[in-house]
Amino acid sequence: MLEISYIRENKEHVIERLAHRGFDGREVIEKIATADENRRKVQTTLDRNLAEANQMARKIGELFKSGQKDEANALRAQTGELKESNRQLESEMHAYEQELKELLYHVPNLPHQLVPTGKTAEENELLKGGGEMPQLGQDALPHWELAQKYQLIDFELGVKISGAGFPVYTGQGARLQRALINFFLDQARDAGYREIQPPLVINEASGYGTGQLPDKEGQMYHLERDDLYLIPTAEVPITNLFRDERLSHKEFPVKLTGYTPCFRREAGSYGRDVRGLNRLHQFDKVEIVQVAHPDASYGILDEMVEYVKSLLDQLELPYRVARLCSGDLGFTAALTYDMEVFSAAQQKWLEVSSISNFETFQANRLKLRFKDEHGKSKLAHTLNGSALALPRIVAALLENNQTEQGIRIPKALVPYTGFEWIN
């Protein structure tokens, strides 16, 4: 959520930056400005009236105490009118506040200067990647066939017990999952991230805090009976740890990591790249989250990108980095880097990580503040990234490392899998 004070003072700039994103914000920003002005006007009047009412009440008390009963009752009779108008002003102010909040909830974050202009993922800015492209033979199999051949993943069984998009991992396939999770968590810990094991369901307030609600409601599984949501990413519970918190600048940087399954309804994306592990309703992911001083957040974003690269290097996967263009940028992000690995049998680049700086967009909703060097209270910056999401990593590992004698496990993973080959 953008800060109202910022919008108030930089209206044209905000509209211009939103336009860069392909978001026509003129009308809504004007509405916001009007609602804000109205709210303030009403509050000024209301505050003055409340002050008057307070004074009268005090006087009545004094009169009663000193035994001037008639005077007190006379004054008491006068309060009705003021009270009624205050009641009205109060509900008026409440309505403006509500309107303002509703409007603000639907305005996306302002893209950072580095965000390239573009409409679709095609226009993302490709940056230097790494790793070597594998040379596979003609008979190379896609991962869903390899998964079947080596009995690593059973998609049909998943359909039976849950539905499409809920695979069952078996044998070496299950062990590979566990190995990757442990590998990623250990790496994160070595990089200074503190491990968190958060709840997998969240309440409504948390959904609002990180920006899943109100807009992406349809993307989350909702447990109606208890009004809870299954997390779509660990970002939500971990970032919400800081909701309504006030940090000291001395605590920065706050670095947290956590492994969780992620649940996504993926409504509307059926039929597109859904084969095998490419798109699932439940998948595993290790997430990294940072809460940072605003002056440091972009340095930290770069550092997080470098960190994720180091993971891909160790997994010996060819990857590229994309700076998301304005059209592809998520609602809450100011700047996002996507990491994609090449899945050689499918001949496709698969997104395995998304690393973003949200600046104060989430912090404003979360009321996540810190006290700076001068004791002033300010909103912090929040960042997060996948490090990493498993399914597409597994897809690439299986496809890229297939040989006649089986699938080779990268060296860095062997201590975690306990086997060098899948065969």
Partner RNA sequence: GGAGAUUUGGCAGAGUGGUCGAAUGCACCGGUCUUGAAAACCGGCGUACCGAGAGGUACCGGGGGUUCGAAUCCCUCAAUCUCCGCCA
How many CA within 13 A on the CB side of residue 59? Answer: 15
| CB nearer RNA, residue 46 or residue 196 | 46
The nearer residue to RNA, 65 or 128, going by C-beta atoms, is 65
Q: Which residue number, 50 or 201, has a Cβ lying nearer to RNA?
A: 50
Which of 13, 58 has the CB closer to RNA?
58
SS (H, E, C) 202-237: ECHHHHHHHCCCCCCHHHCCEECCCCEEECCCCHHH
Smaller CB separation from RNA, 45 or 282: 45
**294 near 250, Cβ under 8 Å?**
no
Q: Least distance to RNA from the beta carbon of 160, Å?
A: 25
Question: Of the two residues 96 and 283, which places its CB atom closer to RNA in the complex?
Answer: 96
Q: The tokens 């994720």 sit on which residue?
A: 308
The minimum distance between CB 208 and RNA, in angstroms, equals 14
Q: Nearest 5°: phi and psi at 188?
A: -65, -40
- Residue 257 identity (one-letter amino acid): T
Which residues lie near RNA (CB under 7 A)?
Answer: 5, 40, 43-44, 46-48, 50-51, 53-58, 60-61, 64-65, 76, 79-80, 83, 369, 377
Which amino acid is it at 82?
L
Q: If we measure between CA atoms, which residue out of 289, 227, 292, 214 comes closest to residue 253? A: 292
Minimum separation from the CB atom of position 245 to RNA (A): 10
- Nearest approach in angstroms of CB 217 to RNA is 21
Those residues whose C-beta lies under 8 Å from the C-beta of residue 347, and which sit 6 or more positions away, are none
Tokens read off for 397: 């590992």
Asked whether the beta carbons of 361 and 334 are under 8 A apart, the reply is yes
- Hey, CA dihedral for 53, 56, 62, 66, is it positive or negative? negative
Q: What is the C-alpha to C-alpha distance for residues 209 and 193, in angstroms, rounded to an integer?
A: 22
Q: Which is nearer to RNA, 61 or 192 (CB)?
A: 61
Q: Whole-number minimum distance, CB 263 to RNA, in Å?
A: 22
Minimum CB distance to RNA, residue 335 (Å): 26
Tally: H helices and E strands in the chain: 13, 19
Which one, 61 or 218, has the nearer CB to RNA?
61
Least distance CB 67 / RNA (angstroms): 12
Q: How far is the CB of 106 from RNA (least distance, A)?
A: 21
Which residues are CB-neighbours of 282 under 8 A, at least 6 positions away? 162, 165, 166, 261, 262, 263, 264
